[in-house]
Amino acid sequence: MSVSPQENELKRVKLKKHPMNCEHYELMIFDLPFSTREADVDTALREHVSQCSSCRLLLNRHLAEMQQISEKRRIHPNPFLYQDLLSRIENNASTAKESAFSAKRILRLSPTLMSAAAAIAFGVWIGGRLTMDIQTSPVNTSESREIMLSAVAEDLHLIDISESTLEIYLMDNQNPEQP
Amino acid sequence: MTEAELVRRLKEKDPAAWHQLVEQHQLLVYNVCKGFLHNAHDAEDLSQDIFIEVFNNAHKFRGDAKISTWLYRIAVNRSLNFMRNSNKRRFWKEIDALFGVSASQKTTAFVPSVETAPMETTEQRSLLDKAISQLPENQRIAFTLNKIEELSYAEVAEIMALSLSAIESLIHRARQNLRKKLKNYYK
């Protein structure tokens, strides 16, 4: 990151107005890029820290911390990264192919699967009907039984009528026979 | 190979172009990931994921921005997502611990993370590092890209899809927050 000479000049002018204003310099310290080393520090800031022990301590600690972070950054590329990536991409492709193959197999088997499903559905339907018949049969029996009972009752009633008719007939014809 | 040609050949999945992209930009991607995750293994894995994502989505790259800007954007977003997922995993781990489900009872895949990784992979972090990670997300991204990656305000604005003044404001607030946090610790 490069700062133009005009920007540097502006900063200097701004800071000259507050030569001992530590807040300005403290913010300036936290504005330093992490790759900054002591020699790269801005002249105005260097002048200030030469007079202010508090800011000097802050600058030194901050430079040390920044250097520590910068040193942790990798500077040598991993020579095997490209090969690792290639093998991962190939693995991903073969996995995708396998999943596509299994999907294709399912699709190819679909007529068989559909027939099996239809057979199962038909079986369930037949079974259901049968079960329903078994379940409804007592109702039918009771209905026919009722019909039979009513028929018997009717028959009995007829008998009753015939009996009563016979009785009446006998009673009617009994008197003339008995002198 | 010019950048436009590189982009065209990347879209055609030309192996030579891919090799060049990986060689040229792997440090950029790795260092951004490591800057956010503070874990070498996680950064390595995430870098690979990012390059594979780039490989799979190269056709979506419009070419409006530089390849490096595109890679920075992906790396920052993926790192933040990784951290959020780590936080979620940690949350559920704490919930499990609360209800007495020990880690050995659960047969989950090993996923190294910022919080759970052993000491060998998670680095001892400096005060400055910790203070940066405590900054609000946008301030942290802007500050990291500008001060550690040393990108200009304009580049940071492009990566974060914000205006230049917004970036200036974010970095200024980040500096103020760091000053507040670190001033007393340093002295």
What average pLDDT does this structure show over B141-158? 95
CA distance A102 to chain B (A): 23
Average pLDDT of chain B is 85
The residue to which tokens 């610790």 are assigned: B185
State the pLDDT at residue A90: 86
* Domain that includes residue B71, residue range: 1-122
Question: What total number of domains does chain B contain?
Answer: 2
Check if the beta carbon of residue B142 is closer than 8 Å to that of residue B160: yes
Check if the beta carbon of residue B157 is closer than 8 Å to that of residue B167: yes
pLDDT digits (tens, 9 = 90+) for B87-126: 777 788 777 777 776 555 554 444 444 444 444 455 667 8
State the pLDDT at residue B1: 78
CB contacts, 8 Å: B187 with chain A: 54, 57-58, 61
Positive or negative: CA dihedral B11, B16, B17, B18: positive
Q: Same structural domain for residues B38 and B64?
A: yes
> Residue B169's pLDDT band (boundaries 50, 70, 90)?
very high
State the pLDDT at residue B82: 94
Cα–Cα distance measured from residue A157 to residue A152, given in angstroms and rounded to the nearest whole number:
8
Identity of the residue in B23, B127, B147 whose CB atom sits nearest the CB atom of A77? B23
pLDDT digits (tens, 9 = 90+) for A59-74: 999 999 999 999 888 7
Q: How many CB pairs under 8 A join A and B?
A: 85
C-beta atoms of A34 and B148 within 8 A:
yes
State the pLDDT at residue B131: 93
Positions of chain A with pLDDT under 50: none
CA distance B102 to chain A (A): 33
Q: Same structural domain for residues B25 and B96?
A: yes
C-beta atoms of B52 and A88 within 8 A:
yes
Identity of the residue in A31, A57, A69 whose CB atom sits nearest the CB atom of B187? A57
- Taking Cα atoms as reference points, which of B169, B80, B94 lies closest to residue B133? B80
pLDDT digits (tens, 9 = 90+) for B36-75: 998 889 999 999 999 999 988 888 888 888 999 999 999 9
Q: Please tell me which residue of chain B has the smallest CA distance to A35.
A: B148
Query: What percent of chain B shows pLDDT beyond 70?
Result: 86
> Residue B172's pLDDT band (boundaries 50, 70, 90)?
very high
Q: Same structural domain for residues B144 and B55?
A: no
One DSSP character per residue, A123-169 reads: HHHHHHHHHHHHHHHHHHHHHHHHHHHHHHHHHHHHHHHHHHHHHHH
CB contacts, 8 Å: B179 with chain A: 26-27, 30
C-beta atoms of B55 and A85 within 8 A:
yes
CA distance B17 to chain A (A): 11
Could you tell me if A30 lies within 8 Å of chain B, comparing CB atoms? yes
CA distance B167 to chain A (A): 14
Could you tell me if A52 lies within 8 Å of chain B, comparing CB atoms? no
Domain boundaries, given as residue ranges, for chain A? 8-72
Q: Same structural domain for residues B118 and B129?
A: no
Check if the beta carbon of residue B33 is closer than 8 Å to that of residue B43: yes
State the pLDDT at residue B27: 94
CA distances from B50 to A81, B29, B99 (A): 12, 8, 36
Q: Counting Cβ atoms within 10 Å, is residue B137 exposed (0-12), middle (13-18) or buried (19+)? A: exposed
ipTM attached to this prediction:
0.78
CA distance A92 to chain B (A): 10
Q: Same structural domain for residues B22 and B96?
A: yes
Which two tokens mark A110?
Answer: 């679909």
Which two tokens mark A99?
Answer: 């999943």
Q: Same structural domain for residues B81 and B101?
A: yes
Q: Same structural domain for residues B104 and B141?
A: no
Check if the beta carbon of residue B65 is closer than 8 Å to that of residue B158: yes
Q: Same structural domain for residues B86 and B167?
A: no
Q: Same structural domain for residues B98 and B149?
A: no
Q: Same structural domain for residues B74 and B86?
A: yes
DSSP state of B118: -
